[in-house]
Structure 1
Amino acid sequence: METDASEIERLPDELLAAVISLTSPTDACRAAAVSRAFLAAADSDAVWSRFLPRVLPVFAQGELPCAPPSKKALFQRLTDEPALLPCKLVSMRLDRATGAKCYTLSARALHISWGDNPNYWAWINLGCDEIKTNKSFKEAAKLRGIWWLEIRGKIHSMLLSQNSAYAAYMVFKLADDRYKKSYFPFQEASISVGGSESTRQTCLQGYMKVGDDEVHRECLLVANDIVLPRKRADGWMEVELGEFYNEEGDGEVSTSLMETKGGVWKDGLVVWGIEIRAKQ
């Protein structure tokens, strides 16, 4: 094996870089630990130019250094922390494993029915401990009470990576026990790309966590047909609204979460945003 490794190291740096660029960001980092020759090739701009998207969106002023020291440094910057777009209501980051572009639509970027009416929704400021994973958005929409729940988000598929699988997630919290203990009709989640649309039912009261029994009986009875949220490491919850494959990037991706038929008063929901992430 040592002989084989030394023979490979005799290859020109350009050829080593070309081979490593055909792998993945994770494999390139592993290759960098093999030897000095592999390190030089694996850290080169030739490799990381292949992992970076061909086209990046325009970012808000000051979000990125004017001249990142290397392509690898730019990749790492965009995987470590999201960068805001000029509207400052949407952020983008890169998926660490694939380099795919992922976006977060803040609550302000969503269409929330009666969201501008303080009788139904309140806009609240979040503490630093509540936004550990994405510090771009420090505001959330808190539902005071409403009969008609409708939350929609959209993004043009041209902004996403082509030939990539994605899923959309609503990130939220339940503000108090009233919301969790009261009967709440299931919500309908949908996602559409071009002329194709998929729908599913979700249950916001319960969430998926190993060893957790805080899932309502209504959810358990039909758990096989209902999508349950999961609790994230940052303390928020997320529910998958749907998945899709972005082939040519031509069209609009629309997502929604609705409950408009149950005739039940709803309150206590805190909406932080919708994430559109690469799906492995």
Structure 2
Amino acid sequence: MGASPSREEAHSNSSFSGNGKAMAVASSASSSGSNQAQSKRAPALHMFQEIVAEKDFTASSLEDQIYTGIFLAGKTKKYWVDERTRNNCFMLFPRGLSITWSEDPRFWTWKPLKEGSSDADTDTQIEVPSLQNVCWLEIHGKLERSYLTPGVTYEVLFEVMLIDPAYGWSVPVNLQLKFPDGTVQQRKENLEEKIRMKWLELKVGEVKTQQGQKGEIEISMFEYDGGLWKRGLLIKGIKILPKQ
């Protein structure tokens, strides 16, 4: 779960204009078959223009990247579309998150990491922070709610890895979603007995957006009440994916 989907299906039902707009392919069928052609036509990509407004794609490069992933905001965010469902998917990378003390090497150090498993991603690197020692753990990320495909239930997950020496995790961390109207989802996760040296997905919560809902969702991981110094946590980012 979480890897950008492979491009297995043909793109015969839709094409893209040079300015980035998703356009339905005009049917050349006779009027008697027009209804059937319409039913097979792929739906337009939700909020595509708004999401990639900073990018300048040609039709061919856009069609090549939409299912493998488009990096945004200086490679601090990745956006792709599930080819089967046409639902939007997102990954928020650490350089786009707010991490307390992250620029002080006494507390966090940064290292390069190759992103993705597809051939298109082999030369793409992100930076991930490695926790050296903190007693105040606090990480926040944000995503515009309207970018999520309406009517689809999404899971929000922190992707992390515990590396030895790892200590200070006997007090559970807090995982929280805060919505624009002030409502909050929160749960706790105990990392003490989690497997080491393997990427873990920590579920924060779920969100289902209706058409027209706007505002930023804040996604958080924090623990600062237990008083324990903590070490040995790599942060790869936050995934926002349709629930399987």
* Rounded Cα–Cα distance in structure 1 between residues aligned with 2:73 and 2:126: 17
Which residue in 1 is equivalent to 2:151? 163
Unaligned runs of at least 5 residues, structure 2: 1-29
Per-residue deviation at 1:183? 5.0
Equivalent in 254, 260, 273 of residue 224 of structure 2: 260
Per-residue deviation at 1:116? 1.0
Equivalent in 199, 220, 236 of residue 236 of structure 1: 199
Equivalent in 202, 205, 224 of residue 189 of structure 2: 202
User: Contact conserved, 1:186 with 1:201, CA < 8 A, in 2?
Assistant: yes
Which residue in 2 is equivalent to 1:245? 208
Which residue in 2 is equivalent to 1:89? 76
SS state of the match for residue 179, structure 1? strand
* Rounded Cα–Cα distance in structure 2 between residues aligned with 1:54 and 1:266: 40
Indicate the RMSD between aligned Cα atoms, in angstroms. 2.9
2:131 counterpart of 1:143: yes
* Rounded Cα–Cα distance in structure 1 between residues aligned with 2:65 and 2:71: 13
* Rounded Cα–Cα distance in structure 2 between residues aligned with 1:68 and 1:14: 27
User: What is the one-letter code of the residue matched to 2:179?
Assistant: V
Q: Tell me the alpha carbon deviations over residues 121-140 of structure 1, each in whole angstroms, 9 at most, x when there is no partner.
A: 001112x4x74266654210
The structure-2 alpha-carbon separation of the partners of 1:61 and 1:11, relative to structure 1 and needing over 3 Å to count, comes to closer
Unaligned runs of at least 5 residues, structure 1: 1-9, 21-46, 208-213, 216-230
Higher helix share: 1
2:154 counterpart of 1:190: no
SS state of the match for residue 264, structure 1? coil
Equivalent in 136, 142, 150 of residue 154 of structure 1: 142
Task: State TM-score, norm by structure 1.
Answer: 0.66
The structure-2 alpha-carbon separation of the partners of 1:111 and 1:86, relative to structure 1 and needing over 3 Å to count, comes to closer
Percent identical:
25
2:86 counterpart of 1:132: no
Per-residue deviation at 1:255? 0.7
User: Contact conserved, 1:141 with 1:270, CA < 8 A, in 2?
Assistant: yes
Task: State TM-score, norm by structure 2.
Answer: 0.75
How many pairs were matched up?
210
Higher strand share: 2
2:37 counterpart of 1:17: yes
Q: Report runs of 4+ in structure 1 exceeding 4 Å deviation.
A: 10-13, 59-62, 133-137
User: What is the one-letter code of the residue matched to 2:155?
Assistant: A
User: Contact conserved, 1:193 with 1:244, CA < 8 A, in 2?
Assistant: no
Equivalent in 167, 172, 178 of residue 160 of structure 2: 172
Which residue in 2 is equivalent to 1:103? 90
SS state of the match for residue 84, structure 1? strand
